[in-house]
Amino acid sequence: MINKIIASALPYMPEKLLWIFSKKYIAGKSIFDVIKVTKKLNDEGSLVTLDLLGEYVNTLDEAEVYKNNYAEIIKQAEIASIKANYSLKPTMFGLLLNPEICYQNVREIVKIANSYNNFIRIDMEGSECTHEEIILFTKLKKEFPDNVGLVFQAYLKRTYNDILNLMDFKNRHSDLNFRICKGIYIEPETIAYKKKIDINRNFEYILNYLFRNDIYAAIATHDKRLINSAIAMIEKYNVPLNRYEFQMLYGVSPELRRMLVKNGYKMRVYVPFGDNWFNYSTRRLKENPSIVYHIIKSLFVKN
Ligand code: FDA
């Protein structure tokens, strides 16, 4: 309850104050800020996926600006020789305004990533986007089989079937690379599991399927129980190191992250950055007020 009250008050706080809360989770505003953070993470043994903040644009002009910004970011990141790939949210490129233009925008970005032999992960957004984001992925995958991946959310009841429907790519000898996470958006009970125990069970069920079918798995969680269960599966199936990685959000559970790196697991940190940090922070906080607890704690407890 208190978290909810604080979360709803956060958008009215001055930007400078909100930045104090947010900076632990956001690398900065510019590409140069994020390159600095990435180099530090690389030195610690972690890879990175860069995420320019912004989503749900209102006009296609905005989408065009974001496309150009992304293209520039990739060029700068490649010049800096950091160990990073890229994540993006299709609603930033106009998915809900015009899926065809969104496809053209994202295609240009994937093409640039492809020219550097790099990889774009399509984040999964709210359920109003799921169908279109899978279609976007399949179109891109046909042209750039090695340079594009998708995210699946364990809280969605449809996820297992969505993955089964994509097995055709695998059968045609194209590798599949999926990130599996719990899911962050508020979804109705008709389509989404609500209880942690059910979400975790589905997470494990899907991960088990990915391993058994030799699909590259990006295991995105800070949940120790799920991480242990993933490690048990990796050992059971003898999954080679080059067929999976763990992923965590920048600023979340850094000790657990370092422990996994120390134990030899491949780790990738999702690092958001950009001018849009204010909207991103307030939206995330409203969606999930329990994060407020972690943010406030982070003000007092040094990691
Ligand atoms: P859970 O929420 O149970 O958290 C486990 C523990 O982790 C908590 O007890 C706490 O200690 C710590 N923790 C978790 N979140 C924290 C936070 N914000 N601050 C501080 N501590 C925190 N979602 C989505 O819908 N689409 C997507 O594309 C992605 N992409 C994505 C990429 C990566 C790399 C990650 C790690 C996550 C996502 N997510 C996402 C978000 C994901 O769906 C989920 O909401 C969060 O990861 C939190 O879930 P956990 O699995 O960590 O478990």
Amino acid at position 128, single letter = E
Q: CB count, 10 Å around CB of 195? A: 10
Cβ within 8 Å of residue 218, ≥6 positions away: 121, 149, 177, 178, 179, 180, 244, 245, 246, 247, 268
Q: What's the pLDDT at 173?
A: 74
**Alpha carbon 127 to chain centroid distance?**
16
Q: What is the average pLDDT score of the chain?
A: 92
Kindly state whether residue 256 falls inside one of the protein's structural domains: yes
**Of 140 and 279, which is predicted with more confidence?**
140
Kindly state whether residue 75 falls inside one of the protein's structural domains: yes
Interval 248-267 mean pLDDT: 96
How close is the Cα of 280 to the center of ligand 1, in Å?
15
Give me 131's structure tokens: 């169908």
The dihedrals phi and psi of 50, each to the nearest 5 degrees, come to -90, 140
Instruction: Of 18-22, 29-33, 90-94, give the lowest mean pLDDT range.
Output: 18-22
Q: What's the pLDDT at 33?
A: 95
Pocket test for ligand 1, best of 25, 92, 152, 182 (most atoms within 8 A of CB): 182
Q: What's the pLDDT at 288?
A: 65
Give me 276's structure tokens: 């849009």
pLDDT above 90 for 300: no
Q: How many helices (H) and strands (E) does the chain have?
A: 13, 8
Nearest CA to ligand 1 atom 53: 223
Interval 251-269 mean pLDDT: 97
DSSP-derived pairing of the beta strands 84-88 and 267-273: unpaired
Kindly state whether residue 1 falls inside one of the protein's structural domains: no
Amino acid at position 119, single letter = F
pLDDT above 50 for 129: yes
User: pLDDT tier at 187 (50, 70, 90 boundaries)?
Assistant: very high
- Measured on CA atoms in the order 62, 68, 72, 73, is the torsion positive or negative? positive
Cβ within 8 Å of residue 56, ≥6 positions away: 91, 92, 96
pLDDT above 90 for 123: yes
Interval 85-93 mean pLDDT: 97
- Give percent of the chain above pLDDT 70: 90
Per the structure, how many domains does the chain have?
Answer: 1
Is the shortest distance between the CB of 270 and ligand 1 below 6 Å?
A: yes
Which contacts (CB < 8 Å, 24+ apart) does range 3-10 have? Answer: 3/289, 3/290, 3/292, 3/293, 4/289, 6/289, 6/292, 6/296, 7/285, 7/286, 7/289, 7/291, 7/292, 8/286, 10/281, 10/282, 10/285, 10/286, 10/292
How close is the Cα of 142 to the center of ligand 1, in Å?
30
pLDDT above 90 for 285: no
Is the shortest distance between the CB of 229 and ligand 1 below 6 Å?
A: no
Cβ within 8 Å of residue 214, ≥6 positions away: 170, 243
Interval 61-65 mean pLDDT: 98
Q: What's the pLDDT at 283?
A: 66
How close is the Cα of 69 to the center of ligand 1, in Å?
26
Domain of 125? 27-273
- Residue 266 belongs to domain with CATH number: 3.20.20.220
Highest mean pLDDT out of 12-16, 25-29, 259-263: 259-263
Q: What's the pLDDT at 302?
A: 45
User: pLDDT tier at 1 (50, 70, 90 boundaries)?
Assistant: low
Contact 47, 244 (CB under 8 A): no
pTM of the predicted structure, to 2 decimals:
0.93
Helix (H, G, I), strand (E, B) or coil at 38: helix
Give me 196's structure tokens: 């942690």
Kindly state whether residue 140 falls inside one of the protein's structural domains: yes
Give me 145's structure tokens: 């089989």
Q: What's the pLDDT at 282?
A: 72
Instruction: Of 28-32, 100-104, 258-262, give the lowest mean pLDDT range.
Output: 28-32
Interval 67-84 mean pLDDT: 97
How close is the Cα of 188 to the center of ligand 1, in Å?
19
